[in-house]
Amino acid sequence: MTELIKNYIDKECIIYAFETQITGVIKEVTDKAVLIECKDGTQIINTDFIVRVREYPRDKNGKKKSIITN
């Protein structure tokens, strides 16, 4: 999982954990943690709790989509 998450470094992503989701830019990935820069500050999440990672969806003009569906 760690090697796959490294593909998203410096990209804005949505990270799904067990009961929450975090939106931000992935800055660093280690063996057990992911450093995420969010609008509220910096967060660290344990990779054992990550269920899904996806790049933030954008429309054809490169703007963020306002509605995110799973």
> Which 3-state string (H, E, C) describes the chain?
CHHHHHHHCCCEEEEEECCCEEEEEEEEECCCEEEEEECCEEEEEEHHHEEEEEECCECCCCCECCCCCC
What domains appear along the chain, each with residue ranges and CATH number? 2-55 (2.30.30.100)
The pLDDT value given to residue 67? 58
Q: Specify the pTM.
A: 0.81
Six-digit token string for 67:
């509605």
Residue 25 has pLDDT above 60, yes or no: yes
- In the prediction, which pLDDT does 15 show? 94
As a whole number of angstroms, the distance between CA 7 and CA 70 comes to 21
Q: Which pLDDT score, from 0 to 100, does residue 51 have?
A: 94
Confidence of residue 52 (pLDDT cuts 50, 70, 90): very high
Q: Please give the mean pLDDT across all residues of the chain.
A: 88
pLDDT surpassing 80 at residue 64:
no
